[in-house]
Amino acid sequence: MLRNSNSRGGFGSGMVVAVVCVCVCVVAMEYGVRVTEGEEYFKPFNVSYDHRALILNGKRRFLISAGIHYPRATPEMWPDLIAKSKEGGADVIETYVFWNGHEPVRGQYNFEGRYDLVKFVRLAASHGLYFFLRIGPYACAEWNFGGFPVWLRDIPGIEFRTNNAPFKEEMKRFVSKVVNLMREERLFSWQGGPIILLQIENEYGNIENSYGKGGKEYMKWAAKMALSLGAGVPWVMCRQQDAPYDIIDTCNAYYCDGFKPNSHNKPTMWTENWDGWYTQWGERLPHRPVEDLAFAVARFFQRGGSFQNYYMYFGGTNFGRTAGGPLQITSYDYDAPIDEYGLLREPKWGHLKDLHAALKLCEPALVATDSPTYIKLGPKQEAHVYQANVHLEGLNLSMFESSSICSAFLANIDEWKEATVTFRGQRYTIPPWSVSVLPDCRNTVFNTAKVRAQTSVKLVESYLPTVSNIFPAQQLRHQNDFYYISKSWMTTKEPLNIWSKSSFTVEGIWEHLNVTKDQSDYLWYSTRVYVSDSDILFWEENDVHPKLTIDGVRDILRVFINGQLIGNVVGHWIKVVQTLQFLPGYNDLTLLTQTVGLQNYGAFLEKDGAGIRGKIKITGFENGDIDLSKSLWTYQVGLQGEFLKFYSEENENSEWVELTPDAIPSTFTWYKTYFDVPGGIDPVALDFKSMGKGQAWVNGQHIGRYWTRVSPKSGCQQVCDYRGAYNSDKCSTNCGKPTQTLYHVPRSWLKATNNLLVILEETGGNPFEISVKLHSSRIICAQVSESNYPPLQKLVNADLIGEEVSANNMIPELHLHCQQGHTISSVAFASFGTPGGSCQNFSRGNCHAPSSMSIVSEACQGKRSCSIKISDSAFGVDPCPGVVKTLSVEARCTSPLSDDFFQEAVSSF
């Protein structure tokens, strides 16, 4: 046991590493995790389960899983994302499988590039991580059409996700394809691969009742079909309370500590812990405090949970047209521990890393105990104790007090008040809405509300060109302290009507997706309307105007009369009433419907469609309304620039002309330029805040849709209180600003010079003010006190033979680290004593050690990471005896390609 605890559940001196540390290491060796150079990443092992946990190679395991969707990053990013997940304490990598990406045309498969699923699974295995593959094949995931290929809806007689023979046939064919591929590549655990878990269907229980008896039959069929494929590992269904006996039902939610599976023979598993939330165009940006997230995770394991997956651990980017609907934005950052650009989000990543380390110390007790002992400690305070006698073959237990292992979780679920409780004769003070973790049932090593991980302040900085590029071919231009991407742009107009011989004319309004097959966001409808002189006179005499009315439209409708845009509508199946201005004689009425991501959630997806629904007519004519629903309409799919591939580096369109800075922003215009980027590894983004709405390509790669739609002015909180149940509206930012202005361009898509940027602008914008931005965590802060817990990694990595760990190793430490490629260049603030304030606003208190700055600078400056012990001896003096002291530090990280470097270089000319 960890000995010599103080009265508040902290640490004393002369402690001994407990059996918990020994067991963690021994168990890890026994599970056969072994990375080799061959195809066999692990010693082959079987996976089963009991009521308590998954069983790997005959041993129960309690697992932390990191959700990463492979197409939302590039293959070049995958190794770093997986490595950071492992460093953060993950045991497992989880992903959905995206059917529409893998089978864009029926029978034609794509498992290359961002869709190289085999490579992604192998990379996880090469890092010694297990894999959870959620085949579905319905994903939801805020992904276009929920992951279904649009061609699926054209199968005769098909109905999605119900007892429908055509759908079941297609679903089985694709699921079999994936399972067989994994088997052929020897990626299942029993083959020496990392895959330990599969999922069939996804949150079907939410909509099952919509399908009546057919839904029940389909769910049972899906389970039976999955099991028949012989994958050799367990299958799960999330949010499926009536999952059949051989399928594990699991929880998806912000909190799952109260969840119980539908059979005592199944373990309690959490497949989606929503550590943030998605964002739609025109909405605020949601954030989930890490204190609450850690509380949710600790409560889950406290109350019997055994497997937890973060949705998302890395969210990434909806490149191209993969964002779902309605109106999902291009960024899928999700406020995840690793941000959209692959940078650590601190303190979220670091605090969860500490939590995972604390949970690993508890794993021996958790796996050895069938159920915890519940102890009520107060009106809103409780303990769950896991204690068992153990016998580990070959392990000398003589160094320990007994062969009993014990871990406890102390929870205070009061949202407002701190509580002091008595547990096993000792007093523990627990902050509100928090859980304390005691791996040995005596000493607290972690509390969910006490964040000691560093805070990293993300900076988004304009790219200042290298000196060699400044003369004379330098294309960036400087104005009002911003560095814009180029002073030289080319432009060409997009025809605002039917533009090719591929158009066709038919009677009536056809459904958008039936025509486009989702090959483009855009569908043109054009008809002619005759207006007589008497109609004009009628309108003038009665002071009325004709109006276009449509029963329902999604997502965007643009109305043109004789080539002039007269109205825009944005909404999800909303009624349209648009005033029209006609000329005498024949008028061209042209409608453009646009999708902004196909519906990704809900029942009857195949029936949702897009474009125009219901009747369409013009009101206000002298002789009555004109019903256009059965008129002759000419249809055109897509834009001319899409068809001619204006975005391609090989395109040689002769219509491009130079754009002058005083040109009036216009609708449906193409722009292109060439730009340079700095070297180094800092992530790159393009700032489109000067633009309207459209799409963008870099070197032929589609970086996604952009839109400067503004969020509501209200609903944001200046201070976010972690206490109390979280919801997606609780902690929002970015009110009154465009939802997204920065767009990730992966480094692997860029060259050092002459990168082609092509933009389709729909509503009018100024490309001259587009800029290149670099993302980095330049400012890092940390604050740790003497009363904090010792470094958890030292406990987890303690010596196997159980030797006594020195008191010096149990002293709390402050850790700082810069992102890869950066070092700590300066220390802006350091005070050991009683400093006040917070990051970027620290201040000295009445108690301050004079050596603070010199000690911290010497330990950290010039290094990527550093640590300082929080003790009087470390600073050579006790600045205020009898007072609990804190060390607060703010430092700056820079890289050789920082702005300071360039400013100095430029000033030398």
Within-domain flag for 230: yes
pTM of the predicted model as reported, rounded to 2 decimal places: 0.92
Distance between CA atoms of 38 and 28, rounded to whole angstroms? 21
Q: Tell me, yes or no, whether 460 lies in a domain.
A: no
**Parent domain of 602:** 502-633
Q: 136 and 119 share a domain?
A: yes
CATH value at residue 857: 2.60.120.740
154 and 182 together in one domain: yes
The pLDDT value given to residue 481: 43
What gap in Å lies between CA 636 and CA 639, rounded to an integer? Answer: 8
Extract the tokens encoding 620: 């206000």
- Residue where a domain stops, chosen among 345, 362, 387: 345
Domain boundary among 588, 608, 633: 633
State the pLDDT at residue 380: 98
Query: Could you tell me which of 571, 478, 491, 480 has the C-alpha nearest to residue 764?
Result: 491
Q: With respect to residue 434, please indicate whether it lies within any of the assigned structural domains.
A: yes
Assess whether 586 and 715 both reside in one domain. no
Q: Are residues 827 and 690 both part of a single domain?
A: no
587: β partners: 529
Q: Is residue 676 one of the residues assigned to a domain?
A: yes
The runs of H, that is alpha helices, within 809-894 are 852-860, 872-875
Whether 356 maps to a domain, the answer reads: no
- Domain harbouring 725, CATH code: 2.60.120
Strands (E), 485-521: 489-493, 504-507
Through-space distance between the first and last CA atoms of the chain, rounded to whole angstroms? 66
Predicted local distance difference test score (pLDDT) of residue 679? 85
Which residues contact residue 884 at a Cβ distance below 8 angstroms, ignoring those fewer than 6 apart? Answer: 785, 786, 787
For 864, the token pair is 């990527």
Residues 790 and 860 in one domain: yes
627 and 668 in a common domain: no
Q: What's the CA gap between 373 and 369, in Å, rounded?
A: 10
175-224 pLDDT per residue, tens: 999 999 999 999 999 999 999 999 999 999 999 999 999 999 999 999 99
**Whether residue 144 sits in one domain with residue 73:** yes
Place of tokens 């400067």: 708
- The token duo for 42 is 């692990």
The contacts of residue 471 (CB under 8 Å, 6+ apart) are none
In a domain, 497, yes or no: no
Domain count for the chain, please give it: 5
**Amino acid making up residue 41:** Y
Longest Cα separation, the chain? 106
CATH number for position 290: 3.20.20.80
Distance of alpha carbon 849 from alpha carbon 359, whole angstroms? 35
Residues 151 and 93 in one domain: yes
Measured CA to CA, the distance from residue 822 to residue 662 in angstroms comes to 41
What is the DSSP-derived secondary structure letter of residue 717?
Answer: -
Residue 826 lies in a domain: yes
Lookup: tokens for 705: 């849709």
Task: Tell me what pLDDT residue 403 has.
Answer: 60
The pair of three-digit structure tokens given for residue 87, joined into one six-digit string: 């460093």
- Choose one of 609, 633, 657: the last residue of a domain: 633
Output the domain CATH number for residue 595: 2.60.120.260
Does one domain contain both 655 and 604? Answer: no
Looking at the annotation, which residues are catalytic?
203, 272
Q: Is the dihedral of CA 819, 820, 822, 827 positive or negative?
A: positive
Q: Are residues 423 and 378 in the same domain?
A: yes
Provide the β-strand partners of residue 426.
423
In a domain, 385, yes or no: yes
Shared domain for 269 and 379, answered yes or no, is no
Examine the domain organization and report whether 831 and 857 are in the same domain: yes
Count other C-beta atoms under 10 Å from residue 230's C-beta.
9
Other CB atoms within 10 A of residue 262 CB: 15
What's residue 462's pLDDT?
Answer: 78
Residues of the chain with pLDDT below 70 are 1-40, 390-403, 463-483, 796-809, 897-909
